[in-house]
């Protein structure tokens, strides 16, 4: 039964509702979680905290994100109240060794991260030196960066791979748009200059983000182009929501072919482990020191394409390690051939045959045997042909989109 003085709109709701005073009272209850309370409304909030703590500290944004998004309370007010409480616990001092309560840490980390990405978004719009303007879209309250170029023609959406960002299509966006297309490129949640919230990342979460982006921003079915894990994600979008997709172009995609699949396993949300936490931080340190060599292995045909822009963007931003934890929980269990069958549309595979990550010959052999009707383009390139050989990929992509649109028009007639 809902409490008379509840801070929530309903018994099942987990977002704090009400005006500034209600939110401030809820914040006080949140910060004092470890102290216990006799107040029914505070006990209810503590129950919601436990329910939304999908990973350490994730409950803060789940509870207070909507209030912050709507401006019911400012980020700086939350920060002020949190630090004030921390000082009260420590005789007026702040310890150099961290905060005294996990709720204080969660609140400070969330607020600092939100402020960081907001300032980063503003800076990207003011100081962008690229050939295309950077735009901002909010998804579930989070900042997502994207670019849009072109005024007419078919809609095309570029989706990058793990650890990359929309600028990875630096030599594709403008060229493909100039060929008579409208092009969008997005930086997924958790990458580049898009926000990196303290949440659980998964392929389905990113697929839902793309679904909403197509509906809210693109506004019509689009040709989806994805590299690496981005290819697998756009395949999920096509398999689950085929009405939103005109065709698929997968560039050295992640995922596997499972012959004679009989069913698709239910994907369960993976809870982070202590081992994944440690592995992610060690991996981040390794990437920061070895990024150049790792990337050059992925560009065997043109190693000179690995420049400072790619190497220096190995992230020092808040939340980077949290995103890396998802690597150890990836569950690419839905077979590509199942997604292709569910989509039922036109599919082009662009494969760099010198990919150090994927066994290209075996992958293409499986495709030809178990995925009839899929077009394949082999290139003398590594894991990122679109950036290593942009001229060839742009030409192939433009021709594919033009031919596919003609076929779709004829089929509808």
Per residue in 282-333, pLDDT tens?
Answer: 767 766 677 777 778 888 888 888 877 676 665 667 777 778 777 767 778 8
Do 144 and 105 share a structural domain? no
115, 147, 162 - which closes a domain: 115
Closest CA to 45 of 18, 71, 70, 80: 18
For the cut 90, the answer to whether the pLDDT of residue 200 exceeds it is no
Please count the residues of the chain. Answer: 413
For the cut 90, the answer to whether the pLDDT of residue 55 exceeds it is no
155, 218 contact by CB (below 8 A): yes
For the cut 80, the answer to whether the pLDDT of residue 383 exceeds it is yes
Do 315 and 209 share a structural domain? yes
For the cut 60, the answer to whether the pLDDT of residue 400 exceeds it is yes
Q: How far apart are CA 8 and CA 16, in angstroms?
A: 5
Instruction: Note the pLDDT of residue 3.
Output: 62
Do 136 and 81 share a structural domain? no
**CB crowding 60-83: b at 16 or more within 10 Å, else e:** bbbbbbbbbeeebbebebbbebbb
Helix axes 203-213, 229-240, angle to 10 degrees: 60
Do 250 and 218 share a structural domain? yes
Instruction: Note the pLDDT of residue 410.
Output: 83
Enter the tokens of residue 10: 């309903």
CATH number of the domain residue 142 falls in = 3.40.50.1820
How many distinct structural domains can be found in the chain? 2
Place of tokens 């919230």: 197
Q: For residue 93, what pLDDT band results from cuts at 50, 70 and 90?
A: very high
Place of tokens 């400012």: 74
As a whole number, mean pLDDT of residues 76-92 equals 96
What is the CA 163 to chain-centroid distance, rounded?
A: 10
Do 90 and 189 share a structural domain? no
Enter the tokens of residue 102: 């996990």
253, 235 contact by CB (below 8 A): yes
Do 111 and 191 share a structural domain? no
Do 332 and 206 share a structural domain? yes
Is 163 among the domain residues? yes
**For residue 168, what is the DSSP state?**
G
Instruction: Note the pLDDT of residue 365.
Output: 95
Instruction: Note the pLDDT of residue 277.
Output: 64
Pairing assessment for the beta strands 155-159 and 142-149 based on DSSP bridges: unpaired
Q: For residue 122, what pLDDT band results from cuts at 50, 70 and 90?
A: confident
Place of tokens 């006080």: 28
Is 121 among the domain residues? no
Do 337 and 197 share a structural domain? yes
Strand order of the β-sheet with 182-186 is 134-139, 142-149, 182-186, 155-159, 222-227, 245-251, 346-352, 375-379
Strand residues in 98-141 grouped as ranges (E): 134-139
Sign (positive or negative) of CA dihedral 180, 181, 187, 193: positive
Do 160 and 261 share a structural domain? yes
CB neighbours of residue 192 within 10 Å: 23
Q: For residue 129, what pLDDT band results from cuts at 50, 70 and 90?
A: low
Is 4 among the domain residues? no
Using only C-alpha atoms, the chain has a radius of gyration, in whole angstroms, of 23
Instruction: Note the pLDDT of residue 324.
Output: 78
The least confident of 36-40, 293-297, 347-351, 352-356 is 293-297
Domain residues for the domain of 45 are 20-115
Pairing assessment for the beta strands 134-139 and 142-149 based on DSSP bridges: antiparallel
61, 15 contact by CB (below 8 A): no
For the cut 60, the answer to whether the pLDDT of residue 230 exceeds it is yes
Beta bridge partners of 378: 351
Mean pLDDT score of the chain: 89
For the cut 70, the answer to whether the pLDDT of residue 269 exceeds it is no
Distance of CA 299 to CAs 166, 175, 253, 353, Å? Answer: 18, 21, 16, 11
71, 114 contact by CB (below 8 A): no
115, 146, 164 - which closes a domain: 115
62, 80, 115 - which closes a domain: 115
Do 94 and 171 share a structural domain? no
Q: For residue 273, what pLDDT band results from cuts at 50, 70 and 90?
A: low
Do 395 and 327 share a structural domain? yes
In angstroms, how far is the first alpha carbon of the chain from the final one?
57
Is 162 among the domain residues? yes
342, 239 contact by CB (below 8 A): yes
Higher pLDDT, residue 54 or 249: 249
336, 256 contact by CB (below 8 A): yes
- Percentage of residues in the chain having pLDDT higher than 90: 67
Q: For residue 138, what pLDDT band results from cuts at 50, 70 and 90?
A: very high
Q: For residue 413, what pLDDT band results from cuts at 50, 70 and 90?
A: low
CB neighbours of residue 307 within 10 Å: 11
Do 216 and 70 share a structural domain? no
Supply φ then ψ for residue 136, to 5 degrees. -120, 135
Enter the tokens of residue 84: 């004030």
The pTM of the full predicted model, rounded to 2 decimals, is 0.89
Instruction: Note the pLDDT of residue 261.
Output: 77
Enter the tokens of residue 189: 């949640």
What is the CA 356 to chain-centroid distance, rounded?
A: 24
Instruction: Note the pLDDT of residue 293.
Output: 75
As a whole number, mean pLDDT of residues 111-122 equals 91
Is 326 among the domain residues? yes
Instruction: Note the pLDDT of residue 128.
Output: 64
């Amino acid at each position: 039964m809902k409490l008379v003085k509840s801070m929530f709109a309903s018994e099942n709701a987990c977002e704090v509702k009400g005006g500034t005073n209600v939110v401030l009272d809820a914040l006080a209850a949140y910060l004092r979680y470890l102290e216990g309370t006799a107040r029914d409304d505070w006990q209810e909030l503590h129950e919601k905290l436990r329910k939304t703590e999908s990973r350490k500290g994730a409950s803060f944004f789940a509870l207070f994100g909507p209030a912050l998004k709507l401006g019911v309370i400012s980020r700086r007010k939350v920060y002020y109240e949190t630090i004030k409480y921390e000082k009260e616990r420590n005789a007026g001092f702040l310890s150099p060794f961290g905060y005294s309560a996990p709720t204080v840490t969660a609140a400070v980390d969330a607020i600092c991260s939100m402020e960081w990405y907001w300032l980063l978004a503003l800076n990207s719009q003011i100081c962008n030196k690229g050939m295309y303007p950077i735009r901002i879209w909010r998804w579930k309250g989070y900042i997502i960066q994207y670019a849009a170029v072109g005024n007419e023609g078919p809609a095309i959406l570029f989706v990058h791979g793990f650890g990359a960002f929309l600028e990875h299509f630096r030599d594709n966006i403008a060229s493909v748009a100039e060929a008579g297309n409208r092009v969008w490129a997005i930086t997924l949640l958790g990458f580049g200059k898009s926000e990196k919230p303290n949440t659980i990342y998964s392929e389905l979460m990113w697929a839902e983000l793309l679904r909403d982006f197509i509906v809210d921003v693109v506004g019509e079915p689009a040709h989806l182009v994805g590299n690496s894990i981005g290819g697998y994600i756009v395949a999920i979008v096509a398999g689950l929501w085929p009405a939103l997709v005109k065709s698929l172009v997968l560039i050295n995609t992640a995922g596997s072919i499972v012959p004679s699949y009989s069913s698709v396993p239910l994907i369960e949300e993976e809870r982070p482990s202590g081992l994944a936490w440690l592995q992610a931080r060690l991996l981040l340190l390794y990437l920061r020191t070895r990024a150049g060599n790792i990337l050059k292995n992925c560009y065997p045909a043109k190693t000179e394409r690995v420049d400072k822009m790619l190497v220096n963007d190995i992230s020092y931003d808040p939340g980077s390690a949290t995103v890396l934890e998802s690597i150890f929980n990836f569950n690419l269990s839905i077979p590509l051939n199942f997604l292709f069958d569910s989509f039922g549309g036109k599919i082009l595979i662009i494969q760099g045959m010198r990919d150090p990550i994927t066994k290209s010959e075996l992958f293409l052999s499986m495709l030809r045997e178990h995925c009839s009707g899929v077009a394949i383009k082999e290139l003398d390139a590594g894991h990122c042909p679109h950036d290593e050989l942009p001229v060839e990929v742009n030409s192939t992509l433009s021709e594919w989109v033009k031919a596919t649109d003609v076929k779709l028009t004829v089929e509808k007639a």
